[in-house]
Amino acid sequence: MLDPRAFLRAKRDGRAHAPAEIAAFVSAYMRGEIADYQVSAWLMAAFLRGLDESETDALTRALIDSGRVFDWGPLGRAAGNALEVRESVDLLRGKGPADARELTLELAAAMLRHAGAANDTTGARELATKALDQGAAWQSFVAMVEAQGGDPGSLERAGGLPAAPVKAPVTAGRAGVVTEIDTFGLGEIVVALGGGRTAKEQEVDPRVGLVVHARLGDTVALGDILAEVHSAAEALELSARTAECFRLGDGPARSPELVLERID
């Protein structure tokens, strides 16, 4: 059983915690066995003494596992700065992935209704759909780009957005049904490619990322493309890790709901 006082003293004295100790600390707090003031004291010690990479990773994972864990599927297809901008542009111009469009309309309708622009959800949905389909949403986006000193032309011309020099397909190693996609793992791969930061001083490469082709519940054949890795240089290890994020089975798989719950 974890002794919270010893745990606090260790960090106060500058010692590193083992991942199992951090997991036990978070679990004990969630069970009500550690008081808030003790957690506050540890947070102060962690701030002053710092956490190394292993401790940070362990704390992140412990916090993720501490509550209700949802089985998320990817939304849209792109992950990475320029890739996501391109997908957003496609959506605003009447194309783009159907799931991203649907959730965008749901969110826009909710905001319009709460702002008083429509009397009910149906009317708000009609307003949002009209703005998207008739180009008003696109024109508003262009105006925002111009207001911030950007070049809206770069969104329309070929090659206007940064593109990665290496694009590698990730293929299925067997036939089957996509029963699980590790979206957290895919996010970590984007960071490893340079598309995100683990420290604020790190540079972000806007070109790199992933394009996901396979969805939960899809039936794939041997060699079908699951995803595409966009990288600054050859990234065989990250391509292999991307393949491992897709679990293939033999039975049917249910696609997750886009909206789990509405809170008014």
Among 63-77, 93-107, 246-260, the minimum mean pLDDT is found in 63-77
Domain count, the chain: 3
Among 13-22, 62-71, 217-226, the minimum mean pLDDT is found in 62-71
In the predicted model, what is the mean pLDDT of residues 133-161? 92
pLDDT for res 257: 84
Please identify, among 113, 129, 155, the residue that sits at the C-terminal boundary of a domain.
Answer: 155
Residue 71 in any domain: the answer is no
pLDDT for res 30: 93
Specify whether 173 is located in the same domain as 238.
yes
Q: Does 58 have pLDDT greater than 90?
A: yes
Nearest-angstrom CA–CA distance, 108 and 92: 13
In the predicted model, what is the mean pLDDT of residues 10-21? 96
Q: Does 71 have pLDDT greater than 70?
A: no
Residue 255 in any domain: the answer is no
pLDDT for res 60: 93
Q: What is the DSSP string of the chain?
A: ---HHHHHHHHHTTPPPPHHHHHHHHHHHHTT-S-HHHHHHHHHHHHHH---HHHHHHHHHHHHHTS-------SSSEESHHHHHHHHHHHHTT-S-HHHHHHHHHHHHHHHHHTTSSSSHHHHHHHHHHHHHTTHHHHHHHHHHHHTT--GGGGTSTT-S---SEEEEEE-SS-EEEEEE-HHHHHHHHIIIIIS-SSTTS---TT-EEEE---TT-EE-TT-EEEEEEESS--HHHHHHHHHTEEEESS--PPPPS------
Q: Does 156 have pLDDT greater than 90?
A: no
High-pLDDT (> 90) share of the chain, %: 83
Nearest-angstrom CA–CA distance, 15 and 41: 15
In the predicted model, what is the mean pLDDT of residues 150-174? 93
pTM of the entire predicted model:
0.74
Structural domain including 172 reads 166-249
Specify whether 41 is located in the same domain as 100.
no
